Structure 1
Amino acid sequence: MARSFLLFLLGMLVFGFAAPVTAQTSAEEGAEVVVTATRVETDVRHLPDSVTVISREDIDRREVQGLYQALETYPSISIKHNGWLGQWGYLRLRGGKSQDTAVLFDGVRLYDPSYPANDFGDLWSWFDAENFERIEIVRGPQSALYGSNAMTGAVNLIPRKGGGPFEARFKGGYGRYDTWRGTGHVKGSLGPLGYFVGISGVNTDGLYRDSEFRQSTVDTNLNLTPFANSSNRILKTLKLDYTLRYAYGYLNYGQWDWKSFRAYNDPHAERRQIIFLNHFTVTLKPTKWWNSKLTAGYHFTKRDYLDRDDGVLAYRADGSPVTDSYMDGLYRGKVYPVIFQNDFFYKDWVILSAGIEYYKEKGDFYNASSWGTKEYDDEVSTTSYFANLFLLPMDERLAVNLGARVDDHEEFGTHFTYKVGMAYFLTDTLKIKANLATGFRAPSLFNLYDPRYGNPDLDPEESTGGDIGVEQELFGGKLRWSVTWFNTHYEERISFNYATWHYYNSGGGVATGLETEIESRPYSWLSLGLNYTYTEGQEDDTENLALVPHHQIGARVSFEWQKLRLNLYYKYVGRRPAYDHKHMIADYSRVDLTGSYAVTDYAEVFFRAENLFDVDYEWAAGYRAPGFNLFAGIKLKTF
């Protein structure tokens, strides 16, 4: 199968070079474009996929710190969170597990090889949402584009880039739980060099007595067009781009007690974490119809746990003691991604993207309680060949998206995945769409080789999923609605056996559901959004999906009048089972309100009122969520 795919890839490359093509026209001027669904800028209107774009303005209006806060109220996103900022948080998309969603940082897969599932882990709460240009969410299997961990979708975190006129902005504020937060950035150009430098930080005592969280993040982008004034047409298109994110965090976390099924304060359970991301990209346009891009990166993650034995932490209702289960250890993960991609354009209706990806990953673990013994130190590499063909025939009334990929995994051999999507406009504004795709996820180094929990005999997970839906725009784009049905089947699911305390292949699973959305902007000063998601399924031999409710509603209202901006957010989450599939978590409704007022052209006051009506609820069983929480501050800017 690998040989057939390589011939297919070669044929499309030859087509791209040989075709008499014209200038690039991947998206109409002024249209909303996304990169994640096809790996090249494409007009959202034409895509068969279900896509959500969270803009920089959306993030700024919401006044959030953690990444999970920016994703709330959007379709098919279920969040588990263990309290306040920095505490453990997980995301499930379309009923899939957390490890079924690929997280990308500027198009490059972001994961920690030392995490149990080789995924983004609990960074949904820890990762700062500041300094992203936008967040693109593509729902549905995306393994044909991004490989392992993309069985239910992809979330692409696109950082801000340097360039343009000089800009400096600063923001600071204070709120409940003794929470301080500050951010700032400068952006501009020095001749052919564009630069962006951003710094953000947060310090909070946290929701519980012992739940302090401190974090600092630095974001940098430098981009250079060294031959912008050259007479050589090809050299003029050469662009060098360097992106960096460095983040350090400290967290005091609680201890989970499975007997009473609740969390307890642990005064000396400490976690320190470092994330260091580097990408260097070279782009070139040899012709008007051919773009070429090479990205090389280095990702480093480090998690250091130090939990002193505090003896008895509390007493259960029956009088029995809850004793401290301490853990000391050091986890380190390293990833070396290399991506070479070529995009070819034919007139106004053909875009071909094809290339090669190489990911080398390494993970190790030191057990500090065993005098610094290294318990495992392993590495693995994956070489992948991918191609995606996007067609707009019939005067753009029909859109066809075809993707294919071969992952050559060092441990598990060759795996082929595909993606087929079609959209057809019944009228100028009414579109029907459908997708069918396969997915693949290799066991992580932790799953395989951890001396306590690992199982070297694990098989990779596989999936087949699809969706079918309808979208329509009305009143000149002022109203848009959509309905999408989705279904995903899984094979050889990797689960944890609490009887043997090892990972194993638990069998199959399924998730199915319905997404509905309505978005409206009736006036320039008012925008509305409403969505409802129904999800059901089966996993680990149980007739439910852990942490995923059957019913979920999200709503957003934004109002702007002269110098005043107000934003209302509503979230309803139905009853859902806890991770053990037995305990049930009660449903809840929550309302957040944010706003700002421009005092001058250069100063603005803002606030965020979370849980406006002080609802008592839980994201995760046994972990109390924040009550009414007011955070306020000031923004300063200059141009």
Structure 2
Amino acid sequence: MLKSTTLSLIALTAATPAFAQTGDDIVVTASGIEQPRDEAGQAITIIDADTIETRQSVDVVDLLATTPGVRFSRTGSMGSVASISLRGAETTQTLVLIDGVKVNDPSGIGDGYDFGHLLTGNIDRIEVLRGSNSVVHGSQAIGGVVSLTTATPAKGFAPKGSAEYGYSDSFTGKADVSGTAGRISGGIGGAYFRTDGISSAAVGAEKDGYKNFAGNARLKVAFSDALSLDLRGYYINADLDYDSFFGAPADSADVAKLDQYVGYAGLNLGLFDGRFTSRAAVTWLRNDRDYYFMRGTAPDYGYSGTNLRFEYQGVVTPVEQARLIFGYEHERPDYDFFGFGSTDSQRANIDSVYALGIVQPFAGLSVTGGFRHDDHSQFGGATTFGANANYSPNDGATNVRASYGEGFKAPSLYQLYDAFSGNAALRPERSKSYDVGIDQSLADGRALVSLTAFLRNTNDQINYDNTAFTYGNIDRTRAKGVEATLALRPIDALNVTASYSYIDARDRSGRAVFDGKRLPRRAEHAVSLSADYDWSFGLSTGATLTMVGDSFDDAANAVPLDGYALAGIRASVPVGPNLEIYGRVDNLFDADYATAFNYGTYGRAAYGGVRARF
């Protein structure tokens, strides 16, 4: 449906220069430590604080949807289940971190993360790494990694806040304060969102409302130049009206409630003038989900997932041109279920060791390689390898990248132990991922074009076997494609970015009904184009166009989902030195579309708000 339009837009933007990011950008997801972006040979997109504020997005998924290689689906109103697929991988094969803590839910069917409750109120930066990278991150990192961080404390004392109101009686309010005093720095913030929503069922008439509160806190104490304590916390409380998913979606009185707790406590030690650094940390995740057939009653069923992790990481820098990263991790995912007259409780222990070397044999070349071994108390061991390289012959103006990464995903506790469909003999899912790319800066740093080609093969993928009525390692999949990113800043006042991705993700299981079919909810083509202009009198205006091609809702490719195009406009203007008024219109042309069959989506919607900084 959108193929000809998409290709026309690509032909237009491919000839357009792009605004270059600086070579000083720092990334963490590639190796698990801070390093210059030009040093990493993997495909990474950064969504920084300025972009988050400029786009005015309330939902993290809306920002991720403009990133190349990302496909998403949502089952209805704001707060409903939202899933992210990276480069055509399963949505359960995306590893998600919040402030360095792994937040994939151990009580989920596939340990997936529900992005539906993750709003932008407390988020300051997002890194998206595309491609398998289990050497650094362990299980789940088959499609890639989404890492979100809250703001680091400001110098001095810096309070700020905002409030917004709009379509369907939606209100967003957030505030935070941070500061630094001597060797102590810290911050605390909170964000509240409520809406009457829309009907989650496409055929429904009853709106499904949603409430969300998110809080975050940080504290860092530097006992000396070499030793520091780092504490971080994140919390989400959510309350969602949703339409029953047992059968075709239809209006119902169902309610879902979530409490998510995320904690991090770490000690950092630097010795020998920083040539040897150590980090020891304890992280904790707890995800409590309760479901009610009717509000005001006791929960009818629910899940609780907990993951307690110990992490040690050491970094040795014997010479400026070489670093060795090594570590040990222990985690204990727990799973508890109640409902329908039964209860279940399961847990596992996972011990992991890894080592990664980064060397720069000569100016312009950086090579990274390493391995990881994970020992799971149920299925045994899994060893993964990875390597990547980045070469620049001209001080960062051109970067040629290549990477190979292996990924694995441990079976979830539900898939292993569920009384009705569990299979204790499951093997981990395994993947091999390859990509090659180039980043070219032009026009004295005012332009950047980035192209990447990728291929990933996944074996032993876990799926439900409808003949044996249990989970089994029955699937093989292959995904290949191309990603392109362009940015342009012809003058200081104008910033234009564009991205395109082609993803061919198909079933290779050999099963007659599914073999060769496209994987569900993964459109082949997607384009995003965004432009922002700062006027001389203070007004800022912008627009974003997102186009997504046709896809299918099911593995047999019998239920089509038509492609769609969404346009949004935005504006903001300062009122004095500390105040800013802003507003936006989403889905400007009131497009009728769906990301999941029979589930509703938002039409045209307008919002306005005010921001204050001191």
Q: TM-score, normalised by structure 2?
A: 0.91
Other-structure match for 2:523: 549
Which AA in structure 1 matches 2:75?
N
Which residue in the other structure is 1:203 paired with?
A: 194
Provide the residue aligned with 1:153 in structure 2: 144
Residue from 50, 54, 75 that aligns with 1:61: 54
Deviations 1:375-418 (A, max 9, x none): x10110111111121122221x2121112111111112121101
Shift of 1:427: 4.5
The residue aligned with 1:355 is: 327
Aligned-residue RMSD, C-alpha: 2.0
Give the counterpart letter for 2:47 in structure 1. Answer: I
In structure 2, give the amino acid aligned to 1:423: N
Distance apart, 1:257 and its partner CA: 6.2
What secondary structure sits across from 1:389 in the alignment? strand
In 2, the alpha carbon distance for the partners of 1:180 and 1:130 equals 12
Shift of 1:494: 0.6
Q: Mapping of 1:90-489 within 5 angstroms?
A: 90-120=83-113, 122=114, 124-208=115-199, 209-227=206-224, 236-256=225-245, 258=247, 262-266=248-252, 268-288=253-273, 289-308=275-294, 328-367=300-339, 369-370=340-341, 373-374=342-343, 376-395=344-363, 397-428=364-395, 429-489=397-457
State the match for 1:592 in structure 2: 568
**Match 2:554 to one of 569, 572, 579:** 579
2:505 alignment partner, one of 528, 534, 537? 537
In structure 2, distance between residues paired with 1:408 and 1:546 = 32
Shift of 1:432: 2.1
Q: Distance in 1 between matches of 2:391 and 2:324?
A: 20
Alignment of 1:515-530 (within 5 A): 515-530=483-498
Preserved CA contact (<8 Å) 1:36 1:107: no
Deviation at 1:595, TM superposition (A): 2.0
1:498 Cα offset (Å): 4.3
Indicate conservation of the 8 Å contact 2:528/2:545, yes or no.
Answer: yes
Whether contact under 8 Å (1:104, 1:157) holds in the other structure is yes
Residue 3 of structure 2 corresponds to: none
Deviation at 1:456, TM superposition (A): 2.1
Q: Supply the AA of the counterpart residue of 1:567.
A: G
Q: CA deviation at 1:327?
A: 9.0
What amino acid sits opposite 1:481 in the alignment? V
Deviation for aligned residue 1:136: 0.8
Deviation at 1:163, TM superposition (A): 4.5
* Contact 2:379-2:426 within 8 A present in 1 as well: no
2:540 to 556, 561, 565: 565
Aligned to 2:15: none
Partners in 1 of 2:299 and 2:461 — Cα distance? 28
User: Secondary structure at 1:60's aligned position in 2?
Assistant: helix
1:496 aligns with 2:464: yes
Q: Which moved more, 1:458-467 or 1:29-38?
A: 29-38
Question: Per-residue CA shift, 1:554-596, capped at 9, x if unaligned?
Answer: 1121222342222211111000010343201000000112221
* Mapped contact 1:161–1:222 kept (Cα < 8 A): no
By how many angstroms is 1:83 displaced? Answer: 2.5
Counterpart of 2:474 in structure 1 is: 506
Contact 1:210/1:254, CA 8 A, preserved across alignment: no
Q: What percent identity do the matched residue pairs reach?
A: 25
Q: Does 1:89 align with 2:57?
A: no
Tell me the equivalent position of 1:12.
Answer: none
What amino acid sits opposite 1:453 in the alignment?
A: S
Cα distance in 1, alignment partners of residues 254 and 423 from structure 2: 28
Asked if 2 retains the 8 angstrom alpha-carbon contact of 1:105 and 1:158, the reply is: yes
What is the rounded CA distance, in whole Å, between the counterparts of 1:502 and 1:144 in structure 2?
A: 30
Cα deviation for residue 476 of structure 1 reads 2.1
Deviation (angstroms), 1:155: 0.9
CA distance in 2, matches of 1:256, 1:277: 28
Q: How far off is 1:84 after superposition?
A: 2.8
Q: Once the two structures are superposed, what CA deviation does each residue of 1:451-478 show, in whole Å capped at 9, x if it has no partner?
A: 2332222221111111112221112221
**C-alpha contact (below 8 Å) 1:70/1:129 kept by paired residues:** no
CA offset at residue 345 of structure 1? Answer: 2.2
Shift of 1:131: 2.0
Q: Greater CA deviation, 249-258 or 34-43?
A: 249-258
Aligned residues: 577
1:607 to partner: Cα distance: 1.0
Deviation, 1:627, is 0.6
Q: Say whether the 8 Å CA contact 2:280–2:311 is kept in structure 1.
A: yes
Does the 8 Å CA contact 1:39/1:145 hold for their aligned counterparts? yes
Q: What one-letter code is carried by the residue in structure 1 that aligns with 2:227?
A: L
SS of 1:256 mapped into structure 2: coil
| TM-score (ref. length: structure 1) | 0.87
Q: Structure 1's 448 and 297: CA in aligned 2 closer, same or farther, altered over 3 A? A: same
Aligned-residue offset at 1:43? 1.1
d(CA) in 1 for partners of 2:402, 2:266: 34
Whole-angstrom distance in 2 between the partners of 1:358 and 1:116: 22
CA distance in 1, matches of 2:271, 2:466: 56
Aligned to 1:8: none
**Aligned residue identity for 1:574:** G
Q: Within 1, Cα distance between the matches of 2:472 and 2:276?
A: 46
Measured after TM superposition, the shift of residue 621 of structure 1 is 1.3
Q: Given that residues 533 and 551 in structure 1 are in contact (C-alpha distance below 8 angstroms), is that contact kept between their aligned partners in structure 2?
A: yes
**CA distance in 2: counterparts of 1:43 and 1:52, whole angstroms:** 13
In structure 2, give the amino acid aligned to 1:556. S
Once the 2 structures are TM-superposed, how far is the Cα of residue 598 of structure 1 from its aligned partner?
0.5
Distance in structure 2 (CA, Å) of the matches to 1:131 and 1:522 = 32
SS in 1 for 2:234: strand
Give the direction of change, closer, same or farther, for the CA distance of 1:394–1:119 in structure 2 (3 Å limit). Answer: same
What SS does the corresponding residue of 2:348 show, helix, strand or coil?
Answer: strand
Q: Distance in 1 between matches of 2:210 and 2:420?
A: 29
- How far off is 1:128 after superposition? 2.0
Look up the equivalent residue of 1:240 and give its one-letter code: L
Residue identity in the other structure for 2:137: Y
Q: Is the deviation greater in 57-66 or in 405-414?
A: 57-66
The one-letter code sitting in structure 1 at the alignment partner of 2:385 is: Y
Cα contact 1:297–1:337 (8 A) shared by 2: yes
Corresponding residue of 2:6: none
Gaps of 5+ in 1: 1-28, 228-235, 310-325
Letter of the 1:483 partner, please give it: L
In structure 2, what is the Cα distance between the partners aligned to 1:214 and 1:537?
35
Does structure 2 conserve the Cα–Cα contact (< 8 Å) formed by 1:570 and 1:592? yes
CA contact (8 A) 1:171 1:636 kept: yes
Question: 2:202 is matched with which residue?
Answer: none
